[in-house]
């Protein structure tokens, strides 16, 4: 198939489609029609990566053009003490271990003040399931952060943590969310989803929130006006069908509520955790698998505004490439991340705002700084923090 023979209409560029199974998918994508589960699996299995990339980029540019989003954010884990025992986790510690930490509310405020940078807008917090902290600690912490750092947007507590807070407070999860919102919580991160398939959860996260409860907590958050994100941990024991089933459940909930901002695939980190040891797994996911996964997500999750390339887990180099594979958001500056690095991530602990802008510009895209709620704060021109040595032949090629 080529541009002359295609029935999809006059386009800027249409690749030669080498896999005939993709021809009807090209037609549907061009028509803006939803893909079926079987078509999603076709995307996962196709050897025609050029067309897969083109399709994902087509949708990405239809939604956002060249705009690529990032946030000036700080990551803070207020405790690594956790009783859940997920086999993929190298972050958690038992109470009393030498490497355990547990910050008081005052400690949390002091830690944020220590790491504070001008222009910081998002504080992202997710941590272990502490067995002894009282419920009052959590809304008190959110309230103290808002009081001490006016204008900061607190995005905190995964659905797994919300279920834990429900248990220790003996309150329904809806009430937990309501009280946290009253304290100043503005959004939930997407963690704790892992893979929804029960077969997998029994092996990697048997004590963590069940899939349906995770979805219900996000449904409740959306009903309160708390927007959220969604993740998927991949590259361990899951099948491709289980990955797509995970996306399918998210797509159905997004149809119902419209409350998700972004979908964030998280590549399994195979260091210092029981799952990697039991599997004899020492290799990270391949770049091709990472890119394919992002592209399938962009094409299947038609009702999600953003697919996020999480540079911490796939590297800042690959995240640049991912901007042609459906990605329109590359997360944030973070400042200091510990969860992925405990499991072997080799990326920096954080990136500067200047570096984020340069990464995006060098990939031929337009950097847009956002806040936690995806409000656009600043669009960066090419002249702002340019790369040296004629950094971006891609920019000239695109435009």
Binding-site residues for S-adenosyl-L-methionine, in ranges, read 88, 194
Which residues, 6+ apart, have CB-to-CB distance to 388 below 8 Å?
none
Which residues, 6+ apart, have CB-to-CB distance to 45 below 8 Å?
240
The rounded distance, in Å, linking the Cα atoms of 108 and 139 is 13
Provide the annotated binding site for [4Fe-4S] cluster. 82, 86, 89
- Beta pairing partners, 220: none
The rounded distance, in Å, linking the Cα atoms of 70 and 270 is 27
The rounded distance, in Å, linking the Cα atoms of 75 and 255 is 30
- Beta pairing partners, 111: none
Q: What is the Cα 397 distance to its own chain's centre?
A: 29
Among 275, 310, 324, smallest CA distance to 75 is for 310
Write out the two tokens for 399: 């435009």
Is there a contact between 240 and 293 (Cβ–Cβ < 8 Å)?
no
Question: Quick count: other Cβ atoms within 10 Å of Cβ 286?
Answer: 11
Provide the annotated binding site. 82, 86, 88-89, 194
Three-state DSSP class for 298? helix
Is there a contact between 350 and 333 (Cβ–Cβ < 8 Å)?
yes
Question: DSSP assignment, residue 21?
Answer: G
- E strand map for the chain: 67-71, 73-76, 122-125, 153-156, 185-188, 227-234, 260-267, 306-307, 329-332, 366-370, 376-379
Cα→Cα distances 64→306, 367, 395, Å: 9, 11, 16
Q: How far apart are the first and last CA of the chain?
A: 25
Is there a contact between 361 and 387 (Cβ–Cβ < 8 Å)?
yes
Task: Map tokens 């042609």 to a residue.
Answer: 324
The rounded distance, in Å, linking the Cα atoms of 188 and 177 is 10
């Amino acid at each position: 198939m080529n541009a002359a023979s295609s029935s999809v209409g006059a386009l800027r560029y249409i690749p030669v489609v080498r896999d005939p199974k993709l021809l009807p998918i090209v037609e549907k994508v061009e028509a803006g029609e939803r893909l079926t589960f079987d078509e999603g699996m076709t995307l996962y299995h196709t050897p025609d990566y050029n067309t897969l990339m083109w399709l994902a980029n087509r949708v990405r540019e239809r939604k956002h053009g060249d705009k690529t989003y990032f946030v000036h954010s700080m990551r803070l884990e207020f405790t690594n003490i956790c009783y859940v025992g997920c086999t993929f986790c190298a972050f958690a510690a038992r109470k009393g271990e030498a490497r355990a930490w547990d910050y008081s509310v005052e400690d949390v405020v002091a830690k944020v003040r220590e790491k504070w940078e001008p222009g910081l807008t998002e504080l992202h917090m997710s941590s272990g399931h502490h067995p002894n902290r009282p419920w009052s600690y959590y809304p008190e912490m959110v309230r103290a952060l808002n009081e001490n750092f006016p204008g900061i947007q607190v995005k905190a507590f995964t659905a797994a943590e919300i279920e834990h807070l429900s248990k220790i407070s003996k309150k329904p999860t809806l009430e937990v969310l309501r009280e946290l919102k009253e304290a100043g919580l503005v959004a939930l991160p997407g963690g704790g989803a892992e893979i929804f398939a029960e077969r997998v959860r029994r092996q990697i996260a048997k004590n963590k929130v069940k899939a349906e409860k995770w979805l219900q907590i996000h449904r409740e958050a959306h009903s309160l006006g708390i927007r959220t994100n969604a993740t998927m941990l991949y590259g361990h024991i899951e099948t491709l069908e289980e990955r797509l089933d995970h996306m399918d459940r998210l797509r159905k909930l997004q149809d119902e509520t419209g409350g998700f901002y972004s979908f964030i695939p998280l590549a399994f980190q195979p260091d210092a955790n029981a799952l990697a040891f039991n599997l004899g797994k020492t290799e990270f996911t391949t770049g091709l698998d990472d890119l394919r996964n992002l592209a399938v997500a962009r094409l299947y999750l038609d009702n999600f505004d953003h697919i996020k390339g999480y540079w911490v887990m796939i590297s800042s180099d690959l995240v640049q490439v991912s901007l042609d594979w459906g990605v329109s958001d590359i997360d944030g500056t973070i400042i200091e991340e510990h969860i992925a690095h405990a499991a072997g991530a080799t990326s920096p602990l954080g990136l500067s705002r200047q570096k984020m802008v340069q990464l995006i510009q060098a990939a031929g895209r337009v950097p847009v700084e956002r806040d936690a709620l995806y409000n656009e704060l600043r669009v960066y021109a090419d002249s702002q923090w340019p790369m040296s040595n004629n950094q971006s032949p891609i920019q000239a090629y695109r435009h």
